[in-house]
């Protein structure tokens, strides 16, 4: 099989499965958000002080989601994803800030 035919075949497969790939990406995105929140809760339970880079990352990610929200608000699923992102990263940031100041 030539390289050109392989590229065409891969392109065709990606086009056929575009919706499935998008859904897998969305699930992965939600899982990463929840993992981030879970990490914050585990730090809270363990009474650990977070590193400043973690707090800054949570703050910048939350800020990015909030600032970009109006541009994604026209599609239902983007509203849902953006709302979930704001909720999860907002709560994560609060947990990290609490751990930062208390522990």
Q: Where are the domains of the chain?
A: 3-102
Structure confidence at residue 1 as a pLDDT band (50, 70, 90):
low
pLDDT digits (tens, 9 = 90+) for 49-99: 999 999 999 999 999 999 988 876 777 878 888 899 999 999 999 999 999
% the chain with pLDDT above 70: 98
Question: CA angle, 8 as apex, 13 and 15 as ends, to 5°?
Answer: 30
Q: Calculate mean pLDDT across residues 1-16.
A: 84
Which of 25, 88, 95, 101 is closest to 62 using CA atoms?
Answer: 88
pLDDT digits (tens, 9 = 90+) for 31-49: 999 999 999 999 999 999 9
When the pLDDT of each residue in the chain is averaged and rounded to a whole number, the result is 90
């Amino acid at each position: 099989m030539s390289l050109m035919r392989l590229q065409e075949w891969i392109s065709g497969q990606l086009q056929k499965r575009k919706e499935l790939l998008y859904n897998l990406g969305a699930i992965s995105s939600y899982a990463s958000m929840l993992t981030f929140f879970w990490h914050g809760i585990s730090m809270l339970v363990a009474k650990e002080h977070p590193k400043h880079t973690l707090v800054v990352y949570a703050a910048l990610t939350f800020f990015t989601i909030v600032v970009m929200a109006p541009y994604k608000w026209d599609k239902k699923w983007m509203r849902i994803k953006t709302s979930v992102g704001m909720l999860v990263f907002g709560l994560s940031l609060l947990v990290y800030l609490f751990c930062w100041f208390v522990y």
